[in-house]
Amino acid sequence: MCVWCPSSSVLKHSNDSKFKMHLLAPKLLYCAQHDAVSRLKVLLEEERQKSRDPSSQWLCGVCYDKSGDTLAHVACRHGSLNILRFLVEEIGSTSFLEAPNLDGKRPLHEAAQNSQLESVRFLVEKGCQVDPLKRADWTPLMLARTKHDLQVVKLLIEKGANLKLRNKDGWTPFHIACREGHASIVGYFLDTCADAFDCSSNNKRTPLHTAALQGRLECVNILLERGNYPPDVRDNCRSTPFMDAAQADQTDIMERLATHKADVGAVDVLGRNSLHLAAQAGAVDAVRLLVDRYGLDPNSTDMWGQTALHYAAKRGHSLVIGLLLTFGALHGLKDNKERTACDLARDANQYKN
């Protein structure tokens, strides 16, 4: 959003009685975005001469109306280190350091999320909290994970960031690194904290579940080599990492987990095995692997009496349907409600004559 937009739709100040420069604020935010500290100083001096007010503390309240981002948020997002130094050291206000926006994000969140290493360093050396929580309980370390920035990650850890802090869903920074496939960060975490892998989300999903579902083979290899996971660690639905890999059509990961003695025929709380899940997801290669190599029965049923063919038919996965029929799936089998795969396809508007 352009900072030169009219102030009524963009900007506000926490103390309207003092905020005389609604036209000046967009220029200040523009300076923060572009690290134009000399221009910022000129604008402030011009305003001091007009108002005869030597104080610049009102700068703390200049922010975007919709996001609540202050000058410090903008400076940290864009790596405007000169602006950041000016606000803290020359204006002399530490309130910039911990000011949250409307989403609860502080300047350190912005710097970490946008891989602004020197801004992160400046903030933590000035005493910023290293693990502040934004809305949904995400810390700067968690946000840094999403950008694959090992330098920022190392700096935050060195400054005391908590590797095991959980957000509202029970996710730790280690979970997030595994989801994003950042093998170097996953390895660094384990070097720093050998039991970092020993965590699970609120629904008991481990980093191995997450890496398998997202197709992060390198992370899966690291977790199997360095994490003390049972072969078939289960979440609240009794799903295993192998089952997650199957529904994501990640055959390389399925094979890797199988060599780790994963039970290829495991079933979840609903009686579904990996073949049911792969068929439901349209995972053609996984279906082929499960039947052709691992010998899963194409006519095996879940707690409702439904086969993989029922699942594929409900979703209209024609390639999977053809493959299952080739492997001997019986199209006339009925579930507990006397419905065939064709019946389910028709009910789901997937039936084709």
Give the pLDDT band (50/70/90) at residue 60: confident
Does residue 273 belong to any structural domain of this protein?
yes
Residues 6+ apart with CB under 8 A from 23: 7
Domain ends where: 97, 116, 131?
131
Look at residues 118, 128, 54 and name the one whose alpha carbon lies nearest to residue 88.
Answer: 128
Distance of alpha carbon 9 from alpha carbon 65, whole angstroms? 7
pTM: 0.86
Token pair of 72, please? 């410090």
Distance of alpha carbon 257 from alpha carbon 278, whole angstroms? 16
Residue 55 burial (C-beta neighbours within 10 Å; 0-12, 13-18, 19+): exposed
Token pair of 204, please? 């008991």
Number of domains in the chain: 2
* SS3 state at 85: helix
Residues 6+ apart with CB under 8 A from 322: none
Q: What pLDDT is stored for residue 95 in this prediction?
A: 82
* SS3 state at 283: coil
Domain ends where: 96, 131, 166?
131
Q: What pLDDT is stored for residue 351 in this prediction?
A: 58
278: region left, alpha or beta (phi > 0 left; psi from -120 to 50 alpha): alpha
**Residue 73 sits in which domain range?**
1-131
* SS3 state at 271: coil
Q: What pLDDT is stored for residue 42 in this prediction?
A: 93
Distance of alpha carbon 306 from alpha carbon 309, whole angstroms? 8
Does residue 139 belong to any structural domain of this protein?
no
Write the CATH number for 336.
1.25.40.20
pLDDT per residue as tens digits for the range 235-269: 999 999 999 999 999 999 999 999 999 999 999 99
Query: Tokens 């957000």 — which residue?
Result: 167
pLDDT per residue as tens digits for the range 11-35: 444 444 344 446 788 999 999 999 9
Does residue 344 belong to any structural domain of this protein?
yes
Is there a contact between 227 and 208 (Cβ–Cβ < 8 Å)? yes
Does residue 156 belong to any structural domain of this protein?
no
Does residue 73 belong to any structural domain of this protein?
yes
